[in-house]
């Protein structure tokens, strides 16, 4: 029997009373594995009201106690790491190794949340005027919310609510309606870690539920990860309702390959970063910019991509899993056909891919195009599938100009043996996250995830110090104390007075 995905409101898991339910499917077979409610307005109201009440107490909890909750939580996440990964695989189709990576990158952010005390520190200047000191305090905002995508159902929620809650806020999470099961398990473990009732809520639904969160007067911040048109809508709607918004959008990530680069390393990294996770990563490399002699490497690249094939999550020979839905597959196939029609050379075509034993899955095989130009749809659009397009230029200057002209700025890489070329590239490129001989330069959580241009709407980015600033407000205090206020008498203990 298909399970009914519960809501998590005021510390309790419960079945929704909604009359509108959605199917959650396994993308390897498109069979229904769960039924998901679109939460009613009353249920949404109750979730926000519970978070608002909980905030009044939670903001007063000492910072070390909030950090200890995160220590307990990361321990439980590590203990249940493989179990969460299997659940994640069942709803995304990710191969097990990739699913484990999804969970682990989320755990790393929870570990950073356990360091919240140092991240909340303010600043002090003594004697800004005669006997007057000024100092700043970092204080929580209130109820925050997160709207998360299908492609990283563990990592991206864990980018959001642990840091927000550690900073003293409460949180309403609305996971993707395609992958809700992982978020519910994360909430179960959070409750088990000792989280007080109400500091985390999990609600489900689609646009109506998102619009409710974007317009609710008690929601202070909105975090979103998803496609460009939706990110733009989230940002505009949220800010119109006077909310602080960070909206992470699409990408078209380029790897610039210099002719002096290590050929084997380039090809291995291009293959993994383009077709890994079926290309369903916002940091996937989807464009190879081959400089001068590097263009001769396409036959070798094709040979290595031919060796990779999709398969079931528990198939050790599988390189990646299916696309998330039939709709997503149809879109990728349409773009592959458009690439052919517009004159690109399809060196390797995965559009007819079949996986034995799983005839109804959303499979697309590795696909490679050469002879691509910047006016083709396979270059201009984010394909979000296991498709790599190759462009050719003569110089590093041309490569930099090409990348800078692209409207997206999430991530980019350069592979080279030249320190001068790498230095020039990192300095001149207009992209927020740069890899030097690293294909997918996703920073660890003590830095921040810093996409630029059309890949991000907002000003403060995810995790790291910027996320703490996103989830907090700064209060500046200017103080003067008179001598007759100094207490008298000794204090013979280590306790503060």
d(CA 79, CA 409): 36
* pLDDT at residue 419, as a whole number: 98
Among 3-12, 417-426, 484-493, the least confident range? 484-493
**Per DSSP, what are the bridge partners of residue 18?**
none
User: Is the per-residue pLDDT at 19 higher than 80?
Assistant: yes
Among 193-202, 333-342, 482-491, the least confident range? 482-491
**Digit-coded pLDDT (tens) for 340-397:** 999 999 999 999 999 999 999 999 999 999 999 999 999 999 999 999 999 999 999 9
pLDDT band at 1 (very low <50, low <70, confident <90, very high): very low
- Residue 368, judged by CB atoms within 10 A of its CB (0-12, 13-18, 19+), counts as buried
Residues 6 or more apart in contact with residue 177 via CB below 8 angstroms: 22, 24, 36, 38, 204, 205, 206
CA angle in degrees (0–180, nearest 5) for 148-464-382: 45
pTM, two decimals, is 0.95
Mean pLDDT of 241-247: 98
* pLDDT at residue 170, as a whole number: 98
* pLDDT at residue 492, as a whole number: 75
User: Is the per-residue pLDDT at 497 higher than 50?
Assistant: no
Q: Active site includes 282?
A: yes
460-467, long-range: CB < 8 A, 24+ apart:
460/244, 460/246, 461/246, 462/159, 462/160, 462/223, 462/246, 462/248, 463/109, 463/112, 463/159, 463/163, 464/112, 465/119, 467/159, 467/163, 467/164
* pLDDT at residue 144, as a whole number: 98
**Per DSSP, what are the bridge partners of residue 201?**
172
* pLDDT at residue 483, as a whole number: 80
The catalytic position among 144, 282, 353, 390 is 282
d(CA 112, CA 164): 12
User: Which two three-digit tokens encode residue 421?
Assistant: 């070329």
User: Is the per-residue pLDDT at 486 higher than 80?
Assistant: no
φ/ψ of 492, rounded to 5, equals: -100, 10
Mean pLDDT of 289-307: 96
d(CA 194, CA 207): 32
Among 1-5, 107-111, 125-129, 282-286, the least confident range? 1-5
Q: What would the DSSP string read from start to end of 359-426?
A: TTS-----EEEES--TTSHHHHS---SSEEEEEEESSHHHHHHHHHHSSEES-EEEE-S-HHHHHHHH
């Amino acid at each position: 029997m298909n399970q009914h995905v519960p809501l998590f409101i005021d510390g309790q898991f419960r079945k929704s009373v909604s009359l509108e339910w959605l199917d959650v499917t396994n993308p390897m077979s498109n069979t229904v594995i769960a039924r998901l409610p679109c939460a009613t307005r009353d249920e949404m109201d109750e979730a926000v009201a519970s978070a608002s009440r909980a905030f009044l107490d939670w903001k007063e909890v000492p910072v070390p106690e909030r950090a200890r909750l995160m220590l307990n939580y990361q321990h439980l996440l590590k203990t249940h790491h493989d179990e969460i990964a299997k659940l994640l695989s069942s709803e995304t189709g990710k191969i097990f190794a990739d699913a484990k990576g999804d969970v682990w990158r989320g755990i790393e952010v929870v570990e950073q949340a356990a360091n919240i005390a140092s991240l909340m520190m303010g600043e002090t200047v003594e004697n800004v005027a005669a006997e007057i000191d000024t100092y700043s305090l970092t204080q929580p905002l209130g109820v925050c919310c997160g709207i998360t995508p299908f492609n990283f159902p563990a990592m991206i929620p864990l980018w959001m609510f642990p840091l927000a809650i550690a900073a003293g806020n409460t949180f309403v999470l609305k996971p993707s309606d395609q992958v809700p099961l992982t978020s519910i398990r994360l909430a179960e473990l959070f409750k088990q870690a000792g989280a007080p009732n109400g500091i985390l809520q999990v609600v489900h639904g689609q646009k109506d539920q998102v619009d409710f969160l974007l317009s609710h007067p008690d929601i202070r911040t909105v975090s979103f990860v998803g496609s460009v048109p939706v990110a733009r809508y989230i940002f505009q709607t949220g800010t119109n309702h006077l909310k602080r918004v960070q909206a992470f959008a699409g990408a078209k990530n380029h790897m610039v390959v210099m002719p002096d680069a290590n050929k084997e390393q380039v090809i291995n990294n291009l293959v993994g970063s383009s077709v890994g996770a079926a290309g369903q990563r916002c940091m996937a490399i989807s464009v190879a910019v081959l400089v001068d002699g590097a263009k001769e490497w396409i036959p070798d690249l094709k040979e290595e991509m031919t060796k990779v094939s999709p398969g079931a999550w528990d198939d050790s020979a599988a390189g990646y899993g299916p696309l998330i839905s039939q709709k997503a597959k149809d879109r990728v196939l349409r773009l592959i056909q458009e690439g052919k029609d517009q004159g690109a050379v399809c060196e390797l075509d995965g559009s007819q891919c079949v996986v034995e034993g799983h005839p109804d899955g959303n499979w697309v095989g590795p696909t490679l195009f050469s002879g691509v130009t910047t006016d083709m749809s396979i270059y201009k659009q984010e394909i979000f599938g296991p498709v790599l397009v190759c462009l050719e230029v003569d110089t590093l200057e041309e490569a930099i100009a090409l990348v800078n002209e692209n409207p997206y700025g999430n991530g980019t890489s350069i592979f080279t043996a030249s320190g001068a070329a790498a230095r020039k590239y990192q300095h001149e490129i207009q992209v927020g996250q740069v890899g030097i001989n690293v294909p997918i330069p996703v920073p660890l959580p003590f830095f921040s995830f810093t996409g630029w241009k059309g890949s991000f709407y907002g000003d403060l980015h995810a995790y790291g110090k910027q996320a703490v600033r996103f989830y907090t407000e700064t209060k500046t205090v200017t103080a003067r104390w008179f001598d007759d206020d100094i207490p008298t008498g000794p204090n013979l203990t280590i306790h503060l007075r």
